[in-house]
Amino acid sequence: MSSTRRPSTERTRARQPAVQPVPAPPSRMAATDALFWYAESALPEFRPIIAGLFGLDRAAIAEQIEASVASAIALVPRLRQRVVEAPLHLGLPEWIEDPHFDLSYHLRHISLPEPGGERELLDLIAALFATPLDRQRPLWEATWIDGLAGGRSAFLIKLHHSVVDGVGSAAILDALTTSDPGAAPRRIPHAKRSRVAPLPSAAARLAALALDQARGSARLAGRALGVPLEAIANPREGLEAAVRVARGLWGMVADVSRPVAHDPLAVPGSGLSRRLDISEVSIERLRKIKSPLGVTINDVVLAALSGALHAYHRERRVHADALSCLVPMNLRGRDERDALGNRVGMFTIALPVGEKQTARRLARIVEQTRAAKLDRRGAAAPLLVEALTLLPGAVLRLLARGALGRVNVACTNVPGTRHPRWMAGARIESIHPFASVVEGTPLVMALLSYAGKMEIGIDTDPEAIPDPQRIAALFAAALDELETLADRA
């Protein structure tokens, strides 16, 4: 492998209009973001990292790659900030400007021995993805990879989950890429970078922490009092709101108290190893499957995953009635697509992997996802997290360790963009998302819609799952079964 840079040999002609920077969230880390920060410190083997692998249709130019990344850094201030703990670990951490920010550390270049194939690329990406981010620096890294077959190249960006969730990563995508194939790197409005202020004294930070804690407590109290006050002003609406809150809390408690499902194939592993696989399916095909069946695309994906795991267990001659699957729920408003941080709820469903019939598997999944949407149990999760993060950090670390291994698999579906994007003069042919496995949850499937396709990234722990390469093939076969079911419908 080589880390040499090639000089620029061509110049792009068009110039894009100036783009306004993405405002940074408050300096105090949000409760839902801090959850991932604390979980990593409690479980060093847990790498709460999300990543996007861009497949480029040509060899990119070093100068243009660097300009694209520099443009994104200028547009997204969070990419220049690092995390510092609250004094005595009494409250949520803070984001501060990194006075030693070094672009050459965060942006790397690797050349695969030509002609690099898909498997060689994914094996390299797996090693990069498994490596933890430096918690003393801004929490992201990017790697440009050339030497791929057909003169293609790839670009990997990985971010700590405390920076952004899957949906919010749209802000990073928009900052890195363009919609114009002939566009030069964006012109960023000139802003003189001010000198980084020194960190305030411990006393000042403790005072700010106390104020933030008071505000957080007041915010929670306001939400708690909101339902009774609404009931007084508008009895009918207040009663409906109270019922919704009660349903959400009850559903969330049911999820948390559900017994841990045992997977006979998932042998103990460290959670450190990675095996990455990719796949894709057209959005139009998914629509043709879901419409006759009267379900959602997410239902189709979960049913296909359940079918793949059913076939996988059958191949290994073992049986499991159901496996617990964590499903994130997007809580963003329409105007919050580019907001950083985590605005996501979560619920769990039991994947009926022991059910032999495709139609029954789908029906059991639809029953659970509709119940979760009806009681909005996923929306109750951020409120609980915010309440928990008022506790000292040491308590949260203990809670994070206790939550380890409560789900067997996770599946996240992220809305991307309908139209093709370009980066550094190259067309982005695909964007495959990845989310990290952890000890006890050795399979995570991430999906992202891009330019008419559903791009799929599969992360497995090869220590815990035998023959992990079978998952992608069996998922494709399960989609075929669902397509046959839709044709009959």
Mean pLDDT of the chain: 80
* 426: nearest Cα among 10, 71, 21, 75: 10
Q: Does domain 31-176 have CATH number 3.30.559.10?
A: yes
Quick one: what percent of the chain has pLDDT higher than 90? 49
Please state, in angstroms and rounded to a whole number, the distance separating the CA atoms of residues 62 and 418.
Answer: 28
The model's confidence at residue 8, banded by pLDDT at 50, 70 and 90, is very low
Q: Which of 4-8, 69-73, 272-276, 310-314 has the lowest mean pLDDT?
A: 4-8
Looking at residue 292, its pLDDT comes to 97
Greater confidence, 489 or 447?
Answer: 447
Please state, in angstroms and rounded to a whole number, the distance separating the CA atoms of residues 441 and 246.
Answer: 29
Question: Got the DSSP string for 343-356?
Answer: -EEEEEEEE-TT--
Q: Which residues of 193-206 are buried (b: 16+ CB within 10 A; e: fewer)?
A: eeeeeeeeeeeebb
Residue 17 has pLDDT above 70, yes or no: no
Looking at residue 7, its pLDDT comes to 39
Please give the distance of CA 325 from its chain centroid, rounded to a whole number: 15
Average pLDDT over residues 106-135: 95
Task: State the pTM of this model.
Answer: 0.81
Looking at residue 129, its pLDDT comes to 96
Residue 199 has pLDDT above 50, yes or no: yes
Looking at residue 12, its pLDDT comes to 39
pLDDT digits (tens, 9 = 90+) for 28-67: 888 778 888 888 887 778 889 999 999 999 998 899 999 9
Average pLDDT over residues 96-114: 94
Average pLDDT over residues 307-313: 96
- Residue pair 291/487 in contact by the 8 Å Cβ criterion: no
* 339: nearest Cα among 191, 172, 179: 172
Looking at residue 306, its pLDDT comes to 97
Residue 374 has pLDDT above 90, yes or no: no
Exposed / middle / buried, residue 258 (Cβ in 10 Å: 0-12, 13-18, 19+)? middle
Residue 140 has pLDDT above 80, yes or no: yes
Please give the distance of CA 244 from its chain centroid, rounded to a whole number: 27
Residue 3 has pLDDT above 90, yes or no: no
Q: Which of 96-105, 223-232, 391-400, 425-434 has the lowest mean pLDDT?
A: 223-232
Residue 362 has pLDDT above 70, yes or no: yes
Residue 449 has pLDDT above 90, yes or no: yes
- Which fold is adopted by the domain 262-424+437-488? Chloramphenicol Acetyltransferase (3.30.559)
Average pLDDT over residues 193-209: 57
Give the strand order in the sheet containing 140-148.
107-116, 140-148, 153-160, 49-56, 426-435, 422-423
Instruction: Give me the residue label for tokens 């547009």.
Output: 75
Please state, in angstroms and rounded to a whole number, the distance separating the CA atoms of residues 22 and 74.
Answer: 9
Residue type, 356: K
Average pLDDT over residues 345-373: 93
Residue 5 has pLDDT above 90, yes or no: no
* 167: nearest Cα among 433, 397, 358, 418: 433
* 32: nearest Cα among 452, 328, 341: 341
Residue 192 has pLDDT above 50, yes or no: no
Looking at residue 407, its pLDDT comes to 87
Residue 117 has pLDDT above 80, yes or no: yes
Q: Which of 134-138, 199-203, 237-241 has the lowest mean pLDDT?
A: 237-241
Looking at residue 243, its pLDDT comes to 53
Looking at residue 459, its pLDDT comes to 96
Beta bridge partners of 277: 458
Looking at residue 16, its pLDDT comes to 46
Question: Got the DSSP string for 290-351?
Answer: HHHHT--HHHHHHHHHHHHHHHHHHHTT---S-EEEEEEEE---GGGTT--B--EEEEEEEE
